[in-house]
Amino acid sequence: MKQLLTLLILIAPLIISAQKTQEIEIMDDTQNEQHFDQHTGTTVFSIAHVPNGEIAYEGNLNEGIFLDDLSWAWNSSVACFPATQKNKFTGKHVFFSGIIPKYSEMEVTVIPTDPSLNLSIYAYEVGVNNDAMVPNLSSCIRCEADHKQERNFVGKEPQDHTRKVTNLVTINRPYKVVIGVTGADGLEEADFTLVVKMKTR
């Protein structure tokens, strides 16, 4: 219970709304379903969709792999992040995957346990039967990413240690979402919490 209260305090600024905040179920990798991806040689953790709710997962970058090729990200058919930002994605990558139901919007936030660590996050949508995993991703419905910004932008709040991807939406059909959590400059170990928030009509 102490762990749950601590997490709620940490992420409270992220989930404040006019509605009553719901308790967030926290799942670690011993509770979470997973499968081994033959192409990447790594474990992909499954995320549950909680319509109009939130769920959190605990992980560590040491459970992931390094990606030698990041060029998929700036391929125009993926357009996830530009080559100029590739150093922000050179740590080990931990993957999560699930289904976004139709008429839904997903928001994903990664929170490093150590606020001094520089994490990044990306997420892409593909068809529900599409098993493509980076770096073997030639195209996708959309890809969103967040990483440390070198400067603040007018009209946006200054960054803190959290990273968030939004605009993961579906309309009249569901899509599979693949989420990658990584770090900058070859980071290979970092505890983190991944918070998945879903809005469904």
Contact 51, 197 (CB under 8 A): no
Secondary structure (DSSP) of 118-134: -EEEEEEEE-TT----T
112 has which bridge partners? 192
Q: How far is CA 74 from the centre of its chain?
A: 18
* Residue among 115, 107, 117, 92 nearest 41 (CA): 92
Domains of the chain: 28-148+161-200 (2.60.120.380)
Portion of the chain with pLDDT greater than 90, in percent: 71
- DSSP letter at 93 equals B
Higher pLDDT, 156 or 94: 94
pLDDT digits (tens, 9 = 90+) for 18-46: 232 334 555 555 456 777 776 667 899 99
pLDDT by residue (tens digit) across 120-137? Answer: 999 999 999 999 999 999
What is the structure's pLDDT at 42? 82
Radius of gyration of the chain (CA): 16
Question: Which residues in the chain belong to E strands, given as ranges?
Answer: 25-27, 34-37, 42-46, 53-60, 94-100, 104-112, 119-126, 142-146, 163-169, 175-183, 191-200
pLDDT attached to residue 12 = 37
- Per DSSP bridges, beta strands 119-126 and 53-60 are unpaired
Joined tokens for residue 14? 């992220």
What does the pLDDT read at residue 150? 75
Task: Kindly report the pTM of this predicted structure.
Answer: 0.82
Euclidean distance between CA atoms 93 and 159, whole angstroms = 22
